[in-house]
Amino acid sequence: MASIPSTNHFACKSLQKSHQNPQVIPMPAPFLANRVNLPSLSVGRSTKVRPDLSARAVVSDDEWGPEREPLAPGVTVLEEASSKEPDETEVLKKQLVDSFYGTNRGLSASSETRAEIVELITQLEAKNPTPAPTEALNKLNGKWILAYTSYPGLFPLLASGGRLPLAKVEEISQTIDSENFTVQNSVTFSNPLATTSITTNAKFEVRSPQRVQLKFVEGIIGTPQLTDSIELPENVEFLGQKIDLSPFRGLINSVQDTASSVARTLSTRPPLKFPFPRSNAESWLLTTYLDSELRISRGDGGGIFVLIKEGSLLL
């Protein structure tokens, strides 16, 4: 039986022989054990190699997948979750926006729906990622679309579509310019003949980490933009009665020609501006939740305003 020193001596002699014959270079036994998948390995006629306790069995990739490096003692591998769970705040935001469906920005919301909305708003306010919005005015910048309000002062405006035939509130928005400290509130109306807007311009001052003071400067009635193509519905509901509009369809062609002519004339007219009365010239706004796509504000009249950033997928 050869001893371990004999094994080392054998490896050295093999290297010397390989110098004479460079075509064949025998590999020392310790390296062969890591490269060849054999049940046992002998060197020479009677040499034994002490088994390497750190050696790993090489398993076929086809059966078990690619070979992995051994882990250090005490180290465990946690399997990555198959799908990332949605953030709780994102879930609340989606639930809030879904609860607005069919409420006409809050006008038609039932008492039960209003209670649900208030609860969701309270939970979101507790998770506000921007606790001091006035110290991050760049996040307030841009155009925000009103999605819901509990402010009764806006309800007559939202209900105007039911009182005026063919009239519809297309959009209510607020545009903030933090560089010039201005706020512009705008309402866009439409009917089959034209679209127009009413805008109020205000200056704002920062009064606290969440509150700004608004001072309204002027109101503007935009120039009506008449449509080139008029499409009348079959009927229209007015004061609870349905009015058939089919007798008027014969007038559409002549009205279209007149509308195009008037539109060219009105487009050259400047919008109508009017000053605000001093009694209604100031207000304040408290921002209680703000991120890149959703803003929740509370006004001095006790109303809640939920606005979504223009271009957001929440719209």
**pLDDT score at 15:** 41
CA 257 – CA 129 distance, rounded (Å): 54
Least confident stretch, 47-56, 167-176, 182-191, 192-201: 47-56
Least confident stretch, 31-35, 191-195, 206-210, 256-260: 31-35
List, in order, residues 6 or more apart from 263 with CB less than 8 Å away. Answer: 194, 225, 226, 228
Q: Considering only CA atoms, which of 91, 143, 85, 131 is closest in space to residue 293?
A: 143
* Residues 265 and 223 sit within 8 Å (Cβ to Cβ): no
- 172: tokens are 């209510």
Threshold 0.95, pTM exceeds: no
Mean pLDDT confidence for 43-65? 47
* Residues 89 and 289 sit within 8 Å (Cβ to Cβ): no
> For the segment 73-106, what is each residue's pLDDT rounded down to a tens digit?
555 544 444 456 779 999 999 999 999 999 999 9
- Looking at the DSSP bridge assignments, the partners of residue 275 are 218
